[in-house]
Amino acid sequence: MKAAVFVALDTTDLARAKALAAAAAPHVAGVKLGMEFFYAHGAAGVREVADDIPLFLDLKLHDIPNTVAGGLRAVLSQLTPRYINVHAGGGPEMLMRAAEAVAEASGGKTRIIAVTVLTSLDDSDLAAVGQQGPAAEQVLRLAKLAQQQCCHGVVCSPAEVAMLRREMGPDFDLVVPGIRPAGADAQDQKRIMTPKDAMTAGATALVIGRPITGAADPGEAARAIAASMA
């Protein structure tokens, strides 16, 4: 049984991305490709890597409503990812227009999720940009806004999963980066959790990058993570 993991292929190297995707695919739900790869290779490159495996296209769009909606339509005219995302901080109209654009352009095949608070940020970082209160309060505020505007779910850190599952209900997707197997280096993530603990807390899907892609044997690393979640 494949684990509910999207492997983050954070590289601009097309050949490496294809090799990593092939190695991990037997053990995971899909792959995540982000702005680095998309800017380097466009939709054609994305299709080379993820033509036959579910895709989380992590573009984190954040602009005025019309621009975000137009950008989503342009992307979805060429690709049909499982997930695509925008920043919840873009506000209610942007989220509403984004959800409408995704539903229309993908025919309901793509789920739109909103980024709440990046896992590289903590309370002191939020205070530095004028956002008061604990990160968890901001995450919940943005998750409720996203749900009200018909988004399918949010991207959140492991620290907020249990709270959001309780507050947002069983059908709201919680896609969770900041996942590190027991004993792994936290690196630049500040709010982390093990894969099994995150799923137990209520995550829908996990995003795991360097513990798999940086391993000597990425396929074996993906298999081991899947086994740890069983």
Predicted local distance difference test score (pLDDT) of residue 189:
47
Q: How many domains does the chain divide into?
A: 1
Mean per-residue pLDDT of the chain: 93
pTM of the prediction? Answer: 0.92
Reported as a single tens digit per residue, the pLDDT across 27-58 is: 999 999 999 999 999 999 999 999 999 999 99
- Catalytic option among 2, 18, 60, 196: 60
| Domain carrying residue 170 | 3-229
190 is known as an active-site residue = no
**What's 98's domain CATH number?**
3.20.20.70
The mean pLDDT value for 198-227 works out to: 95
Distance separating alpha carbons of residues 7 and 187, to the nearest angstrom: 17
Give the pLDDT band of residue 3 (cuts 50, 70, 90): confident
CA distances (Å), 204 to each of 6, 22, 40, 65, in order? 11, 23, 29, 27
Reported as a single tens digit per residue, the pLDDT across 103-146 is: 999 999 999 999 998 878 888 988 898 887 788 999 999 999 99
